[in-house]
Structure 1
């Protein structure tokens, strides 16, 4: 079932408490509202985020809503501006967006590797994934916000308890993270674009170094955290990820044009990953589980759509 069609390069999907969804469109800066399935409503653009400069992999990327959105209706967006990548808080007024307020800026931008996934963790803080913007050494530099996972408050300040004092940095040594998810124990998983060797699924621990550009994939080097699963880029190129109702991690694959199901238990691989929908919808940018269905967002440059599928289509149990 197609919930939203005819869009170009959508990037992120979030679901609101009323059952409707918001979808970001990378190149136009548009935010689409998709009514709750079965409500009889029609999708509509609810606004454009001002200041978005789309180039290469940059533009309007991740969206996030806090758990208390109903009481405090504010939407958060990650986007590329003329000078940097930034996070803004955007008031939600009825069925339209208000004027954005930038809460975090200075994230390096590039034609490639802009990161862009944002999500509220179980602790109520906002997590922000960034890329190293093509300058690989930034991933290891604590003077840069590039190549990191950040943890911030709703006003953009470093969250209490971060591992590097007054820094927003939560983990570092990342090339380009575009997916975040948490299991029922609060353990965080992240997808990672590799270069020529390995794409990764990592368990994220505060203050740890994930190796880029010194290592890629499993290295066995105790100075770095090894991924729990890895793939050749031709099979994967992972973007959005989600925790399924069965406790497995599901990864949306761009170059691999698939959804991968990865069984995990207590932060470790607990079975062989399986591949689903290979080539059926082309490149897949994001995945969500909503109302007993799997929602996938395609990324084929034109004619893209948000599709609702039965759980069995992605191997969910």
Structure 2
């Protein structure tokens, strides 16, 4: 039954994509019609008192589920700012750095299956788990992908459903750069899978691996044409915005930024690590919006087909480290979160916020 259901989901999503639509969980869908001249305008606080909010995914009622990295807690946050603790995710451990409870993706069929997916650090490494959220409580933990190496840093962690109905995950190279080039390793990759954690049909190597050569990718989104874009933290020189294609090699650790090595793919845009260190990325109104940690700003990068235009920064140093940005379904707005209570931000627990950003 599950395999049959996955086939139906993928077929429905492919049909939607052909009609120019995207599923809500892609971070690109259900936004207002694209306007190439849009830009962030008003910003207001939706909710405060958070401690390292990391993953965010929308429910059909327009509220969001949000993870806290170090508390291992899952919350529901409404558009009006009402926050409710849903539960605590089991089997999560911290690494004393960037590990913990990270990415989150609500099933495209949540109304019928009540499934949510979480990426987190466990005692044996990083893993992807499926749980049931029935609208009031959290239950039924099941690990669907294990064997992803962990480290204090470089754990990746983003989860999203793509317009094809499959689940995508970003993994870091766990501070072991050579793993990014090892196609037999799950580290330093973008993974693509069914809702049971199996390799999605059409994956380039017959495994979970969709693309490789990544250092620490933490942001993925799709544009309205179904192209996959990825934001990646560099080492000491350049952070990257990549256009991801099946089976391609994105260079790390041979290249950081532009790459002339045969068989490796250069980024569409690159930044000094002091200006970016990106985490989340989303699509809205003809542009990608990329949240910057060390850079403490929101980047807007217009896109036209496979080209990425000149980036422009907003809110530089106004709100600290920006972790996650997602398009509000059906609205011309974004939600943007901080993680200033982490090791690099240096703020106390409860210092983080979720903002709403209007696009004019």
Normalising TM by the smaller chain, what interval? over 0.9
Q: Name the structure 2 match of 1:308.
A: 356
Q: What's 1:43 paired with?
A: 83
Q: How far is the alpha carbon of 1:80 from its aligned partner?
A: 0.2
Secondary structure of the residue aligned to 2:48 is strand
1:258 to 297, 303, 310: 297
User: How far off its partner does 1:208 sit?
Assistant: 0.6
Gaps of 5+ in 1: 313-317
What's the counterpart of residue 46 of structure 2?
3
Q: Deviations over 1:228-269 (max 9, x none)?
A: 00000000000000001x121110000000000001111212
| TM-aligned CA deviation for residue 310 of structure 1 | 1.7
Q: Deviations over 1:65-99 (max 9, x none)?
A: 12222222111000000111000111012222112
Aligned counterpart for 2:150 among listed residues 103, 109, 133: 109
Residue 324 of structure 2 is matched in structure 1 by 286
After superposition, residues 67-216 of structure 1 pair within 5 angstroms as 67-165=108-206, 167-216=207-256
Greater shift after overlay, 233-242 or 138-147?
A: 138-147
Q: Is the 8 A contact 1:62 1:117 kept in 2?
A: yes
TM-score by length of 2: 0.83
1:52 is the counterpart of 2:95? no
CA distance in 2, matches of 1:95, 1:35: 14
Contact 1:240 1:285 in 2 (8 A): yes
**Structure 2: stretches of 5+ with no match in the other structure:** 1-43, 342-348
Q: Are 1:219 and 2:259 counterparts?
A: yes
Kept in 2, the 8 Å contact 1:200–1:217? The answer is yes
Residues of 2 paired with 1:191 and 1:31: CA distance? 24
Between the aligned partners of 2:82 and 2:237, the Cα distance in structure 1 is 43
Runs ≥4 in structure 1, deviation > 4 angstroms?
A: none
Aligned residues: 306
Deviations 1:188-245 (A, max 9, x none): 000011001100000001111000000110122331010000000000000000001x
Deviates most, 288-297 or 171-180: 288-297
Paired residues of 1:18 and 1:36 also in contact (CA < 8 A): no
Contact map agreement 2:46 2:79 (CA 8 A) in 1: no
Which has the bigger relative contact order, CA under 8 A and spacing at least 6? 2
Give the match's secondary structure for 2:111. coil
Q: What is the distance in 1 between the residues matched to 2:222 and 2:111? A: 22
Q: What SS is found at the alignment partner of 2:140? A: coil
What is the match of residue 277 of structure 1? 315
Alpha-carbon deviation of 1:151? 0.5
Aligned to 2:268: 228
**Cα distance, 1:145 vs structure 2:** 0.5
Any idea what SS the aligned residue of 2:180 has? helix
Structural RMSD (CA) = 1.1
Indicate if the aligned counterparts of 1:130 and 1:145 stay in contact, CA closer than 8 A. yes
Post-superposition CA distance 1:78-128 (Å, at most 9, x none): 000011100011101222211211111110100000000010000000001
* Structure 1 residue 14 displacement after superposition: 1.1
